[in-house]
Amino acid sequence: MPRNVFVIALDEFNKGTMETLPEYRRYAVHSLLPKDEVLKAEEYDYEDLLAQANQTLREFDGTVDGVVTWWDFPSSGLAPVLSEHWDLYGPSLRSVVILEHKYWSRLAQRAVAGEHVPAFAAFDPFDEDALEAITNSGVYYPFWLKPVKSVGSYLGFRIDGPEDWEPAITTMREEIAQFGDPFDQALARVDLPPDVEAVGGVACLAEGIIGGWQCTLEGYVSHGEAHVYGTVDSLRMPGVSTFRCYQYPSQLPIPIQRRMEQIAKDVVGQAELDHCCFNAEFFYDQEQGQIWILEINTRLSQSHCDLFAKVDGASSQRAMLSLSQGRSPRMLHRQGEFNVAGKYFLRTTEDGVVRSAPSQQDLDAVVERFPGTRIEIDPVVGDRLSEMAVQETYSFELGRVFIGADDHEQLDERFEQITQMLPFDIER
């Protein structure tokens, strides 16, 4: 009989990737909680979402054999509690919270890899003296201002001087509760150390600027043993923090990748993460020869699933499904159709109303010209870009293009050609 695995906020695009796995027939995959309630809500009630999910599982006519997710909080904080309640394989909520609370995570990183962690300080965004406290703590301009819990780059601000502080902290105060309040609900279920308890979930982190070659390591922990199975490069737009694309495999020197792998294993071990995928984001400062940890997420990156399928021959969702059953994954390596693959972002930096977007005929024409390409378009006619859910601070995301190619140069060439085939009309 197929094993019933529930995916929190299952979406058709990523389900389509999962269906290409040879072992998919062993599973009956079900959606748990509507995507709009978990990814696009204006506010979240963590306990209410847990109650809804448990009710769905109780009413299911069959066995519950796994609960997983590839999304950030609140999904990543729901799966551990549901897995424990239904006696399933999965990480503890405490281990997830350690790595997802940006301040607690920095403390865990500093304990085992302090030389790879920038200066940082937690603070109350509603404290009128917060800026003075930050500069007195050893964090100096320029620095990043972030919530201790957010999604993607939402509410991330670069503070180059005092003039940047007021507009950033004003926005932070207005919007931090969207994820901070439900994160506090999750924290209430965990025995917190005093310094983290004092900070809470509606709080911010200031940390020194780090940079260089950015990449993400994809891995998993099975029965206490951590493994890394691939490294994806994260390439930004020139001169800004906005991502242009992700490319796999990484072009970083192998010795640097191996060092990053060990650091990631040390940190997830410090958090006691188990039966779980993770992705670890790093910078490599080539001039200084310095490796920096950016953050570690307690899930696979759904952004990379199709890239692994194109290059290695199996989506990284294989690891997630195997772990949900208590099995160590058997990952493929370089058995895919393409030598390299990329996820490219369609973006604009100006707000406006969408008057027309690429049609299905446009998308079909791209796939016919570049077989294997997959495309997601977000806005529909009438959408105002600034009103779309959880956009990053400095640009608006219109969609994503997943491409395979013979080499990295061909990847870029194909994306440039594809953008010309995907017309948007946006009234500024």
Q: Any residues with CB less than 8 A from the CB of 285 and at least 6 apart, and which?
A: 210, 211, 212, 213, 291, 292
pLDDT tens-digit map of 133-163: 998 999 999 999 999 998 877 899 999 999 9
Residues of the chain with CATH 3.40.50: 3-93
Domain 3-93 is of which CATH architecture?
A: 3-Layer(aba) Sandwich (3.40)
**213-427: CATH superfamily:** ATP-grasp fold, B domain (3.30.470.20)
pLDDT tens-digit map of 66-119: 999 999 999 999 999 999 999 999 999 999 999 999 999 999 999 999 999 999
Q: Could you tell me the pLDDT band of residue 380, with boundaries at 50, 70 and 90?
A: confident
Q: Could you tell me the pLDDT band of residue 392, with boundaries at 50, 70 and 90?
A: low
pLDDT score of 395 more than 80: no
Residues of the chain with CATH 3.30.1490: 119-208
Whether the upstream peptide bond of residue 167 has omega within 30° of 0, thus cis, is no
Number of separate helices (H) and strands (E) present in the chain: 15, 17
Q: How far apart are CA 91 and CA 268, in angstroms?
A: 11
Cβ pair 118, 210 in contact under 8 A? yes
pLDDT tens-digit map of 30-53: 999 999 899 888 899 999 999 999
The CATH number that domain 119-208 falls under is 3.30.1490
Strand 204-208 and strand 157-159: the pairing is unpaired
Burial of 258 (0-12, 13-18, 19+ CB in 10 A): exposed
pLDDT score of 239 more than 80: no
* pLDDT at site 242: 79
Q: How many CB atoms lie within 10 A of CB 96?
A: 27
Q: Which residue has the tokens 């490069």?
A: 233
How is residue 340 written in tokens? 């390299």
* pLDDT at site 204: 97
Least confident of 16-25, 32-41, 68-77, 415-424: 32-41
Q: How far apart are CA 63 and CA 58, in angstroms?
A: 10
pLDDT score of 257 more than 70: yes
* pLDDT at site 391: 61
pLDDT score of 382 more than 90: no
Q: How far apart are CA 368 and CA 63, in angstroms?
A: 42
What is the average per-residue pLDDT within 9-17?
A: 95
Q: Any residues with CB less than 8 A from the CB of 229 and at least 6 apart, and which?
A: 218, 219, 220, 316, 319, 329, 331, 333
3-state class (DSSP) for residue 103? helix
* pLDDT at site 428: 82
Q: Quickly list DSSP for 58-92.
A: HH-SS---EEE--S-TTHHHHHHHHHHHTT-S---
Strand 396-405 and strand 340-348: the pairing is antiparallel
Q: Any residues with CB less than 8 A from the CB of 152 and at least 6 apart, and which?
A: 72, 390, 392
HSE of 109, CA atoms in CB hemisphere, 13 A:
27
Cβ pair 233, 246 in contact under 8 A? yes
Q: Helices (DSSP H) in 3-142: which residue ranges?
A: 12-18, 35-39, 46-59, 75-85, 93-100, 102-113, 130-136
Least confident of 53-57, 110-114, 129-133: 129-133
Residue 388 phi/psi, 5° resolution?
-75, 150
pLDDT tens-digit map of 323-356: 999 999 999 999 999 999 999 999 988 888 989 9
How is residue 70 written in tokens? 């590839």
Q: How far apart are CA 133 and CA 111, in angstroms?
A: 23
Residues of the chain with CATH 3.30.470.20: 213-427
* Alpha-carbon dihedral angle through residues 205, 208, 212, 216, given to the nearest 10 degrees: -20
pLDDT tens-digit map of 184-237: 999 999 999 999 999 999 999 999 999 999 999 999 999 999 999 999 999 988
Cβ pair 214, 233 in contact under 8 A? yes
Q: How far apart are CA 296 and CA 117, in angstroms?
A: 12
How is residue 77 written in tokens? 């904080």
Q: How many CB atoms lie within 10 A of CB 393?
A: 15
pLDDT tens-digit map of 214-229: 999 999 999 999 999 9
The three-state DSSP-derived secondary structure of 288-304 is: CCEEEEEEEECCCCHHH
What is the average per-residue pLDDT within 409-420?
A: 96
pLDDT tens-digit map of 271-322: 999 999 999 999 999 999 999 999 999 999 999 999 999 999 999 999 999 9
